[in-house]
Amino acid sequence: MTTSLRPRDRKVRILATLGPASRSPEMIAKLYRAGADAFRVNMSHGAQDGHAETIATIRTLEKQFNRATTILVDLQGPKLRVGAFASGAAFLETGSTFVLDQDTTPGDATRVRLPHKELFAALTPGARLLLDDGKLVLRTITASPDRIEARVEVGGTLSNNKGLNVPDVLVPMAALTEKDRSDLSFAVEQDVDWIALSFVQRPEDVAEARRLIGGKAALLAKIEKPAAVERLDAILELADAVMVARGDLGVELPPQDVPPLQKRIVESARRLGRPVVVATQMLESMIKSPSPTRAEVSDVATAVYDGADAIMLSAESAAGDWPEESVSMMNSIATQVERDPGYAARVHFTETVPDPTTADALAQSAREIAKTVGAASIICFTLSGSTARRVARERPSVPLLVLTPRLETARRLGLQWGVHAVRTKDVESFEEMIAKAKRMALRHGLATAGDRVVIVAGVPFGTPGSTNVIHVARIVGDELKGRDA
């Protein structure tokens, strides 16, 4: 049975991670209804066969709910980890000396294996080594091709295979491991919409992933390394979207540096018209609690006020006790923020200067015209999604209905602020365009009889990148006559 879901009452999108607590068809359907616009499949956990089942479930529900739905596959990336200890763990005393080497013998309180040869040449005296998400801090004393001697600045218990971060050096490792390459091929074969690249350090990492994807999915670069922040603009030029991955950023940088960096990344992405996702620990307490802390609510609200395109749930929806409630809470927070009379002014604190092109000029004009004439919505006809992205960058005050004949375009727009994308047959004439725009606005509840709508399109129809038409139309009572597919 097909049941069309109405467009969301908010413009920011919600990206929900699926996992053991939420991968069943029943729970994914509940997350849909609670407000999830897109779903993240995390390749750090589980096998490809299981993920294939999850993706198939989403596609089945997509047909049931009659809404193009976005799937993002998140690659694990090169995880740095120490080896194993003879007793499973060791206590590192603050002030003591600790050695990381390539000896396969199980470790103790004085040494452990580090199975990453690249690091031995990269580390220099004074460089920090952060262990177990920064709980333990070591400082390099000397480094040779097979031995790193370090002083323990912050001690504690270190157990088998704990993670290692080295924030002070550019790690000479590719962003794609062999596992990532296999998972990337899997994602492309599954026709997912977005592929997220983890631990990006340089623009070349993005270029390599883009080459492997071959245009069959959009590419999101996760900004979680200081090296990526330093080359943010170059990475943004190559990526289709970025994520503020605050987990590792918060490990490798002082916590107080993360909020201004978040704002900088969001602003930079918005200026270039790239979707930007804010992620990690947004409603962390809801992993175990049915309600969030007030600080978490404020954190989500801040990302919405800043104009982020999407906000993401991680373990809250993937492995927590309250996945549906987490999505519902995030939906409620975002909806309430966008109802704030001061929201429109705040979301435009970031100035988005249009490029000197006809398409950008029309996108900016669409926002101003809609505001001036009190339009109910802006309607875009697009093949590639470019027109929709340009208009969304302007953050108009009204909903953005995007009509496209390409299902893949509608799906990819699920991370774009304010967009309700619908797959429909292409138009062949100006008159048909106007009639369809009004009919679809009524059908999807984005206008009523008597409303004005602003229509943006390109002529000749069916030509990507030809945005050159803007038109204001008034809807009358019998516009629903006619059929669309």
Which residues belong to the active site?
Answer: 40, 81, 222, 280
Sequence-distant (6+) residues with CB within 8 A of 57 are 23, 24, 25, 28
Which helix (H) or strand (E) covers residue 71, if one does?
Answer: strand 70-74
Q: Tell me which residue of 163, 133, 126 sits closest to 148, measured CA to CA.
A: 126
User: Residue 335, CB half-sphere, CA atoms under 13 Å: how many?
Assistant: 12
Q: How far is CA 200 from CA 220, 221, 266, 410, in A?
A: 10, 7, 17, 27
CA gap 416, 250 in Å, rounded? 26
* Whole-Å CA distances, 467 to 360, 363, 440: 9, 9, 20
Neighbours of 272 (CB within 10 A): 16
DSSP three-state, residue 236: helix
| Token duo for residue 66 | 């009659």
C-beta of residue 331 within 8 angstroms of C-beta of residue 14 = yes
- For helices 294-305 and 323-339, what crossing angle results, to 10°? 50
Handedness of CA 426, 37, 473, 471 (dihedral sign): negative
142 φ, ψ (degrees, to nearest 5)? -140, 155
Residues listed for the chain: 485
Q: Measure the CA–CA gap between 371 and 391, rounded to whole angstroms.
A: 13
- Can you tell me whether residue 272 is helix, strand or coil? helix
The C-alpha atoms of residue 351 and residue 12 are separated, in whole angstroms, by 18
The two counts, helices (H) then strands (E), for the chain are 17, 21
CA 144 from chain centre, in angstroms, equals 39
Q: Which residue has the tokens 């600080």?
A: 295
Please check whether residue 118 is in contact with residue 173, taking contact to mean a CB–CB distance below 8 angstroms.
yes
| Continuous H helices in 273-384 | 294-305, 315-318, 323-339, 343-347, 358-373
Q: CA-CA distance, 227 to 367, in Å (whole number)? A: 36
Q: The tokens of 258 are what?
A: 């993360």
